[in-house]
Amino acid sequence: MNKRKIAFVASDVPIAQAARSELAGLYDHVPPEEADVIVALGGDGYMLHTLHMHMAAGIPVYGMNRGTVGFMMNEYNTDKLEGRLDRAEAVELFPLRMSATKMNGEIEEAIAINEVSVFRETRQAAKLKILVDGIERMESLVCDGIIVATPAGSTAYNLSAYGPIVPTNANVLALTPISPFRPRRWRGALLPQQAVVTLVAHDPAKRPVSAVADATEIRDVQTVTISEDRSLHATILFDPEHAMEERILKEQFTA
């Protein structure tokens, strides 16, 4: 059996760089483009960055926490890494594709593993029309913004905006408003994973909005269309004792 080829990558913070140097001194390693598996050292933000960088190549990523937040990461330990990789359980994440039409008519696209968000740009609240699969579901939502979150992203910004936590095998997307003013009591919706969500900005010259797919921001948008892209997937690896499904379940019982 051929030995697994491992690549080590790390965020810029000193603790992550020190961990990379330590692991590189203990284990044979190759550049990421030659690897069978990538070990990412940092926090959840760096894990998302690594998944985006290597999603097209289909290389699985095993994270170890050397950052501030580690929901998508495993515990940092230099011992028996190859055995941990052999036992790791794979979770496939299907990203969202965002297509944003700007006020000048330009169209830009981006991919999101966690969520696509639309935000107000100024003191004026955003005023958005919501369509699902081409059917108008809400003529006007006055708010700070709105989130379309994947199951993987449901425990991130979506949760901070009081959106629902979604198990990765639930096959749904979370649609969550951010500080809704009208209708004040609306708290969002759960949509089938194949749903196509279209958000249209009312009067974007007066109430400009931006669209953000993970770390990619597009400003001054008029229409944003969001759907799951099954032509792409990211593979993330977890230790069996820290499986992602268990973490999501536990998060639902956290006060």
Question: What is the three-class DSSP state of 41?
Answer: strand
DSSP H helices in 148-204 = 157-160
Helix (H), strand (E) at residue 16: helix 14-26
Residues 173 and 191: beta-carbon distance below 8 Å: yes
Residues 225 and 108: beta-carbon distance below 8 Å: no
DSSP H helices in 27-103 = 44-54, 81-87
Instruction: Please tell me the total number of residues recorded for the chain in this structure.
Output: 255
The secondary structure of 128-147 as a DSSP string is EEEEETTEEEEEEEEESEEE
Options 12, 28, 36, 44, the catalytic residue? 44
Q: Is 44 a catalytic residue?
A: yes
Q: Which residues pair with 65 in a beta bridge?
A: 42
Amino acid symbol at 135: I
Active site (catalytic) residues: 44
